[in-house]
Structure 1
Amino acid sequence: MLHLASRITGSEEELRVVNVEGTRALLAEARRAGVGRVVQLGTAAVYGAGVRRGVVEGELVERPGSVTSATRLEGERLVLAAGGTVLRPHLVFGRGDRWVVPGLVELLGRLPYWVEGGRARVSLVSVDALAGALAELAVRREVMGGVLHAGHPEPVSVRELVEAVAGGLGLPLPVGEVDLAGALELLGGGGGIDPVLARRVGLLAVDHWYDSGRLWAGLEASPGPRFAEAFGACASWYRDTALA
């Protein structure tokens, strides 16, 4: 069984109803129906803030920084306690993405500078590669239990990310450079910045990449091409749909 449902906005009660109690109810129904395998789509956001460089599963203690992440972690722990598998991607792009690339485009419009030179590296995975991994985990003979990081094996520098998105969508590249503190000041500073916007800036300023070797070594599914090529295949969808 694939468990792909989650709620990311709303009150604490609304988030808990879906992410925790919804997961609990789903697991109970799975047991009643005799379903022996559960694979859940989780999130690396449960680790919270901090620099991440080649982190492997089990290396970090989860410290969610929001109610959304905290309730999703509670749901993940229910699945893990039941012997299930949880995939934790960091950033997912492709058809259906309403957060990663649209958020980057919005940020570039408000902050047309390279933050920390674009040197930070991040984990990305296409929705197609992620779907392939989830589907195979649900039906393969051998169970891969526990937490699995789900990103492309090669992290992408923020400069590569921005250049590919700008080139694919016909946007101007940033000019000049600011550090993280300067970027936050330009966007509001003094506590006036939107926390979502602040998080997006933080993702561009420091490394956030996770080792996904265990996942891909155990699957026939492919992580797909590097970001620039994979994004080129879905750039028209972003232009025509997500950013129209």
Structure 2
Amino acid sequence: MRVLVTGASGLLGREVAGLLVRQGHAVTTFQRRPSGVEGAADVLGSVTDEDAVRAAVQGAEGIIHLAAKVSFTGRAAEFSEVNVEGTRRLLRLARAAGVREAVFVSSPSVANSGAAIAGLGAEAADPEHAHGDYSRTKAEAELLALAADTPAFRVAAVRPHIVWGPGDTQLVERVLERAGRGRLPLLDAGAALIDTTYVDNAASAIVAALHRMDHVHGRAVVVSNGEPRPIGELLAGICAAGGVPAPSWAVPGAVARGAGAVVERLWTWAGRKEEPPMTRFLAEQLSTAHWFDQRETRRLLDWTPAVSLDEGLARLAEHYGGRPPGSGPRR
């Protein structure tokens, strides 16, 4: 199959594109900088550019759409232009180009209003109650994507939950950097039970959705390792792999959520580009249970995760080679 992967310069996008190449598909990647995926043809551009998107979708039979603005802060209009209008543009031009199938890579946060999640499946995306501009716009985009599903243009949504692995700058590097400086607290003593997804598992589930369109088109599925653990235990494992002390001081979750909301507004008002030390969304993620029932996902995708959390942490330790952050991974 000729497959276009958008957003392949990120951790998950690179793994998705690489897996498709290894499976023998003809892969084109589309993003603003080179993907570095061996065996894939890079097309550089943005989903905000009509002409660039039109050129990228030509000849594709399937699309996996990962390109998105992912951040805890930023101007609302920027999230909308990339996540909502970029998805709308891609779907419209893909359909016009004769693309048959598309997988929209979403997030469980599209259906999370901040309350604890314990063993639920893929609840309906809810932009009105999603917390933060990222979650809100991803929810809007997911609804657009699923509404575009037809027999001639089949669309599914896959929501991988907290993806991490070697080379991850969204979670792992932030944890190690802040823990290494003693600035990573445990919220509510790190007791919240959460699930995460090792990057190889997230990629294989997304690719499985493309192959299982008969079963998943028109619907969303949540993907995780299916191994919920206390957040404090997970953070300690990441810190051990990276060679830094685990967080040892605690802050009440309610205090962190309130402070995070204030910091988030100040960061956005000031137009600061770096990620803030805390936001309301991040505080919720660190202090609220969120794990999902994976039985329906595994049945629909005919998929199971190949890499356990413990094996993933071992691979992370191998990547860092026991060196502290800043000294670089072992070569």
How would you bin the TM-score normalised by the shorter chain? 0.7 to 0.9
| Amino acid in structure 1 at the alignment position of 2:243 | G
Q: Which residue of structure 2 lines up, in the alignment, with residue 80 of structure 1?
A: 146
Q: Structure 1 stretches of 5 or more lacking a match?
A: none
Give, in whole Å, the separation in 1 of the partners of 2:141 and 2:185.
38
Answer with 23-32 or 218-227: which moved more. 218-227
Structure 1 residue matching 2:226: 3-state secondary structure: coil
CA-based RMSD: 2.9
CA distance in 2, matches of 1:119, 1:230: 21
Separation of aligned partners in 2, 1:14 and 1:138: 29
Residues 38 and 143 (structure 1), Cα distance of their counterparts in 2 relative to 1, 3 Å cut: farther
Gaps of 5+ in 2: 1-62, 150-154, 266-275
**What letter corresponds to residue 18 of structure 1 in structure 2?**
V
Q: 1:97 maps to which residue? A: 168
**Partner AA of 1:201 in structure 2:** A
Map of 1:120-139 to 2, 5 A cutoff?
A: 120-139=192-211
Count, aligned residues: 241
CA shift in 2, pair 1:64/1:99, >3 Å: same
Shift of 1:177: 4.5
Which residue of the partner structure matches residue 154 of structure 1?
Answer: 227
Q: 1:202 Cα deviation (Å)?
A: 3.1
Residues 43 and 87 in structure 1, CA contact (< 8 A), matched pair in contact too: yes
1:89 positional shift: 2.1
SS in 1 for 2:214: coil
> For the Cα contact (< 8 Å) 1:149–1:212, is it kept in 2?
yes
The secondary structure found in structure 2 opposite 1:204 is: helix
Q: How does 1:169-208 map to 2 (within 5 A)?
A: 169-175=242-248, 177-181=250-254, 184=256, 189=259, 193=263, 196=276, 197-198=278-279, 199-208=281-290
Task: Give the Cα separation in 2 of the matches to 1:230 and 1:67.
Answer: 30
SS of the residue corresponding to residue 6 of structure 1 reads coil
Deviations 1:150-206, CA, capped at 9 Å, x for gaps: 111221221320221122111223335443246x39xx9597645751443332222
- Greater fraction of residues in helix: 1
Partner Cα separation in structure 2 for residue 6 and residue 191 of structure 1: 23
Aligned to 2:70: 8
Aligned-residue sequence identity (percent) comes to 27
Deviates more, 1:95-104 or 1:17-26: 95-104
Q: Is the 8 A contact 2:190 2:287 kept in 1?
A: yes
> Would the alpha carbon gap of residues 136 and 49 (structure 1) be closer, same or farther in structure 2, given more than 3 Å must change?
same
In structure 1, the partner of 2:317 is 235
